[in-house]
Amino acid sequence: MSTPSSPGWYENPDNPDELRYFDGILWTSNTTSLRKRPASPAGPQAPTAPDRTPTPPSASAPPGWGTPPRRPGWQRPSPTADIPGQPELAPYLSRVVAYLLDTLLIAFVSLVLGGWFLWKAIEPIADRLDAAMVAGDFRAMSSALAEAGLGWLAAFLAVQLVVMLAYHTFFLTRWGATPGKMLLGISVRRVDRAGPLDVDTAVRRAGFQAVAQALGNVPVVASIATVLVITDLVWPLADQRKQALHDKVARTIVVRGRVQR
């Protein structure tokens, strides 16, 4: 059956006993049973004069069936109309809450695995830092932190970077969602196909975030990296497909529900 050229109810190409609504672009999921004319009884019947009185269309008949289709007004196409499966995009608030939950989990695991490096970095200034915090002297706190062991601090940041990459890559390639996203009922998939991410896509997606956050600890480019992290976080608000910058790098989208295998 050829694709109709205008919206309306047409014979369902998947079930000849149904009518299915075509919105002008795609077949929708709205169907109704096809009302067939009952078979004529056997035997000859006397001819009857045709009724020339125009019959108004039945109010219960599906719109567009048996009547010339009306040209609808212009409607903005769905942002996922050209994506296989036409998934529903995840709400922005759900993404932010999931991001915060994942950040807390990553920070906890990083402290467990790299906490010794962090302690070695602040051990020489621990007393001064504690006194400045009790006194609320932020200038003294900044002065003390400037004297922290940079080598040990760099080792801790390296552990944190590895944990973040491993965390996102592991969960996105196995389940298509991190624990934070699982709790919020959202998942990540590629734009061109459904299913858990492949390793390359997951590494590119997580690597963008990890590198941006790691650069935020480098004095020379910290301000630029901070702007990049904030821009990445708010970008979905203005994007048609609600993609963050790391989604665009990896060609992924965040959708409602579990990932479809």
pLDDT in tens, 131-140: 777 777 777 7
Q: Per-residue pLDDT tens for 20-60?
A: 887 777 778 788 877 654 555 554 555 555 555 555 554 45
- Closest residue by Cα to residue 8 from 54, 17, 25, 16: 25
The secondary element (H helix, E strand) that includes residue 202 is helix 199-215
Residue with token string 């934070």: 180
Residue-wise pLDDT for 66-88, tens only, equals 555 555 555 566 777 778 888 89
Contact assessment for residue 15 and residue 30, using Cβ atoms and an 8 Å cutoff = no
Q: At how many degrees (to 10) do helices 92-122 and 150-174 cross? A: 150
Residue 238 and residue 243: Cα distance in Å, rounded? 9
Alpha-carbon torsion, ordered 101, 102, 105, 111, to 10 deg = -120
pTM of this structure? 0.62
Span 131-169, pLDDT tens digits? 777 777 777 767 666 666 677 778 888 999 999 999 999
- The pLDDT, as a whole number, for residue 31 is 80
Which residues on adjacent β-strands are paired with residue 252?
A: 190
Provide Rg for the chain, Cα atoms: 30
Q: SS3 breakdown of the chain: % helix, strand, coil, rounded to 5?
A: 45, 10, 40
